[in-house]
Amino acid sequence: MENLKENQGTSPKETDILDARLERRAFLQYAGAGAAVMALVAAGCKKDRSPSMSFGATLDFKDDIGVLNYAYALEQLEAAFYIQVATNPPSSFTTAQKNYFQDVQFHEIAHREFFKKVLGTSAIGSLDVDFSSINFSDGASVLAAAKTFEDLGVAAYNGAGVRLKTDAYLVVAGQIVSVEARHAAWVRDQISNGSFADLSSLTSLGANVSGGLDAALTPDKVLAAASKYIKTKINVINL
């Protein structure tokens, strides 16, 4: 799925990627439909920038490029996780759970490839992940890891949105975080039925229970929490 095909036909409805079971064909259609958005957003990218990779990956938060690379790093992590689970799901998984990981891997691949294309030569390189703490043969371990990634992802987008100066980027970030929140709710419900709307367990991630606001974390806190899953050294400047 690394090389996404452009769809030259009629674009699918926006809700297809969120509400319907995402098969390979639907995913390719979504990716094609997103090309128009990518073209508009990419217009704001500075193609002459290329962060140094000498000492890992550098996230320079002085402008929108740093925020987009931050999101790209997190989407790389999520995509790698979901691909690994979908390729060889735990034997204890139900059919619905297997279908979820099959479908959501394509959501995360779409997110990852979106940022990669928008950033162009300004994109950081591919990150090396470390999933040694996850037992991929155990359903409970996989669901717990998925919960961590999704909750952290939502908090990351919510915390970084304020740093974006370009309206088009902010709109896309909002569209992506809403999808990640759907993932988080589904996973939580698999672990404990009916817990999908529980904000009290997210207070450590910055959720405001009394205000009904989801979690929000600054990039430094998100990267610290995600560091156990990433081998590549990530340098943060101008935060």
Domains of the chain: 16-237 (1.20.1260)
pTM, rounded to two decimals: 0.77
> What is the Cα–Cα distance from 40 to 118, expressed in whole angstroms?
9
Write the secondary structure of the chain as one string of H (helix), E (strand) and C (coil): CCCCCCCCCCCCCCCHHHHCCCCHHHHHHHHHHHHHHHHHHHCCCCCCCCCCCCCCEEEECCCHHHHHHHHHHHHHHHHHHHHHHHHCCCCCCCHHHHHHHHHHHHHHHHHHHHHHHHHHHHCCCCCCECCCCCCCCCHHHHHHHHHHHHHHHHHHHHHHHHHCCCHHHHHHHHHHHHHHHHHHHHHHHHHCCCCCCCCHHHHHHCCECCCCECCCCCHHHHHHHHHHHECCCEEEECC
* Percent of residues, the chain, with pLDDT higher than 70: 77
The set of residues, in sequence order, having a beta carbon less than 8 Å from that of 53 and lying 6+ positions away, is 124, 125
State yes or no: pLDDT of 162 exceeds 90. Answer: yes
β-sheet bridge partners, residue 208: 213
**What pLDDT does residue 177 have?**
96
> What is the Cα–Cα distance from 125 to 173, expressed in whole angstroms?
21
State yes or no: pLDDT of 14 exceeds 80. Answer: no
State yes or no: pLDDT of 35 exceeds 70. Answer: no
To the nearest whole number, what is the mean pLDDT of the chain? Answer: 83
Mean pLDDT value of segment 218-226: 95
State yes or no: pLDDT of 227 exceeds 70. Answer: yes
Name which residue leads in pLDDT, 226 or 45. Answer: 226
Confidence of residue 205 (pLDDT cuts 50, 70, 90): confident
Confidence of residue 55 (pLDDT cuts 50, 70, 90): low
**What pLDDT does residue 200 have?**
75
Reference 67, options 151, 149, 166; nearest CA is 166
Mean pLDDT value of segment 49-70: 80
**What pLDDT does residue 30 have?**
43
**What pLDDT does residue 153 have?**
96
Mean pLDDT value of segment 185-193: 94
Contact 173, 164 (CB under 8 A): yes
* Model pLDDT for residues 120-133, shown as the tens digit of each residue: 999 999 999 999 99
**What pLDDT does residue 2 have?**
42
